[in-house]
């Protein structure tokens, strides 16, 4: 017999909403007056270690109670509310599993806790283990698993009951580059299936290729939220950093140093002697830099082999934002 009940209706409610939510651990503040709405799709939750990402996710998943304010997931209060887990699943950042169980035993047990009969639990466990490429390792004891295998097993357990919202705390930790790509692909598939995914990470470039929608946390506060372009709009006043590779970097630099918009020019030796030298230029008006370079190419016949905007990287944006705050 399958005991699972239908999930509660969501009636078009937003995925998650926090209103003035704070969480205190004694004198230490974990999350400070956070108000935001999470929309359907993939949302990246970004911030360095200790920024409050785990506290945020634990509030969202009903493991912690907000000290102040309100937290809602599909309009339900998640605090200690098992009903929410018919709609949502959580994949923690902890590496631990039941070490003396096989991966399959663990996932089947989680399926049974979700209300499935023994046969259905086994079927779903096998299906999800296959999906995360753990089928061939699933009969081994968890204590022999690598970090990546543990992550995959936890993800399989999180997907068992077809949740509408999947909350993943640092899901790419411990995965090799190929594993990360596979995992990111799974997240995209989940979003394509109409599920919402919240992914936390302290490594910004992990999220960059997955979603443009993000929430940045720093010291328990929301530093920025929204589309990456919106976040960029916040830092327009900051100088843009460009890395320009050229066969004659000194000549190129000569054209740039006189510009009013250029605040600094640095020479960077190449990693490989045969490569071109590069210069790192910080400018408040990048267009003037491009025009000056065009002039250098035409007048001095120099080669410009690449121009890279370092600030497009989320790391740089985060750095700017934290510096501003």
Partner 1 sequence: MNMLSVAWKLSFYQVWNRKRRWSTVAMFLLPVLLVLGIAMFARHPDTTEFYKGFVTNALGFFLIPFVAVFWGTAVLTDEIEGKTLVYLWTRPRHRGTLLLLKLMFMWVWLALLVFSGVAAGYLFAYSTNNAGGLLENLPVLLWDWRALTLAAIAYSSIGFLFSVLFRKPLTYAILLVYAWEVIPNVGPGFLKRISIRQQMLALVTHKEEPGRIAKTLMSDVVITEMQAIATLLVVAAVCCVATVFIAPQREFLSDDPARNQ
Give residues in contact with partner 1 (CB under 8 A): 1, 3-5, 23, 25, 28-31, 49-52, 54-55, 58, 61-65, 80, 82-86, 89-90, 92, 94-101, 105-106, 109-110, 112-118, 121, 143, 157, 161, 219-220
Q: Which is nearer to partner 1, 55 or 245 (CB)?
A: 55
Q: Which is nearer to partner 1, 118 or 295 (CB)?
A: 118
State in angstroms the smallest separation of the CB of 169 from partner 1. Answer: 10
Q: Which is nearer to partner 1, 97 or 224 (CB)?
A: 97
Please state, in angstroms and rounded to a whole number, the distance separating the CA atoms of residues 253 and 243.
12
Q: Which is nearer to partner 1, 124 or 282 (CB)?
A: 124
Q: How far is CA 319 from the centre of its chain?
A: 16
Q: Which is nearer to partner 1, 96 or 136 (CB)?
A: 96
State in angstroms the smallest separation of the CB of 306 from partner 1. Answer: 38
39 Cβ contact list (under 8 Å, min separation 6): 14, 15, 196, 213
Are 223 and 325 spatial neighbours (Cβ–Cβ below 8 Å)?
A: yes
Q: Which is nearer to partner 1, 42 or 91 (CB)?
A: 91
State in angstroms the smallest separation of the CB of 213 from partner 1. Answer: 23
State in angstroms the smallest separation of the CB of 111 from partner 1. Answer: 9
Nearest to 155 by CA among 133, 176, 137, 122: 133
Q: What are phi and psi of 239, to 5 degrees?
A: -65, 145
Q: How far is CA 29 from the centre of its chain?
A: 22
206 Cβ contact list (under 8 Å, min separation 6): 172, 180
Q: How far is CA 216 from the centre of its chain?
A: 10
State in angstroms the smallest separation of the CB of 308 from partner 1. Answer: 33
State in angstroms the smallest separation of the CB of 145 from partner 1. Answer: 14
Q: Which is nearer to partner 1, 62 or 249 (CB)?
A: 62
Are 307 and 242 spatial neighbours (Cβ–Cβ below 8 Å)?
A: yes
Judged by phi (left if over 0) then psi (alpha if -120 to 50, else beta), residue 52 lies in: left
State in angstroms the smallest separation of the CB of 140 from partner 1. Answer: 15
Please state, in angstroms and rounded to a whole number, the distance separating the CA atoms of residues 70 and 31.
12
* C-alpha atoms less than 13 angstroms from C-alpha of 57 in its C-beta half-sphere: 28
């Amino acid at each position: 017999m399958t005991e699972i009940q239908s999930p509660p209706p969501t009636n078009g409610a937003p995925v998650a909403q926090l209103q003035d939510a704070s969480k205190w651990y004694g004198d230490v503040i974990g999350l400070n007056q956070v108000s935001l709405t999470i929309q359907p799709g993939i949302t990246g939750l970004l911030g360095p270690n200790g920024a409050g990402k785990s506290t945020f996710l634990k509030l969202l998943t009903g493991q912690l109670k907000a000290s102040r304010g309100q937290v809602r997931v599909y309009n339900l209060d998640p605090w200690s509310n098992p009903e929410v887990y018919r709609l949502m699943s959580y994949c923690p950042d902890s590496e631990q599993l039941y070490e003396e169980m096989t991966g399959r035993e663990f996932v089947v047990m989680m399926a049974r806790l979700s209300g499935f009969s023994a046969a259905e639990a086994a079927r779903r466990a096998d299906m999800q283990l296959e999906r995360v490429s753990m089928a061939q390792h699933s009969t081994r004891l968890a204590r022999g698993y690598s970090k990546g295998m543990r992550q995959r097993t936890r993800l399989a357990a999180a997907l068992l009951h077809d949740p509408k919202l999947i909350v993943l705390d640092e899901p790419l930790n411990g995965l090799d580059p190929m594993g990360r790509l596979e995992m990111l692909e799974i997240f995209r598939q989940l979003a394509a299936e109409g599920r919402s995914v919240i992914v936390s990470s302290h490594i910004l470039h992990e999220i960059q290729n997955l979603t443009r929608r993000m929430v940045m946390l720093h010291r328990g506060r929301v530093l920025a939220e929204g589309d990456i372009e919106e976040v960029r709009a916040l830092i327009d006043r900051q100088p843009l950093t460009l890395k320009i590779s050229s066969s004659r970097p000194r000549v190129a630099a000569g054209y740039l140093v006189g510009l009013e918009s250029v605040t600094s020019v640095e020479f960077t030796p190449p990693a490989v002697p045969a490569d071109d030298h590069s210069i790192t230029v910080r400018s408040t008006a990048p267009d003037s830099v491009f025009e000056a370079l065009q002039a250098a190419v035409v007048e001095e016949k120099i080669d410009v082999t690449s121009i890279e905007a370092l600030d497009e990287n989320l790391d740089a944006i985060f750095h700017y934002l934290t510096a501003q705050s």
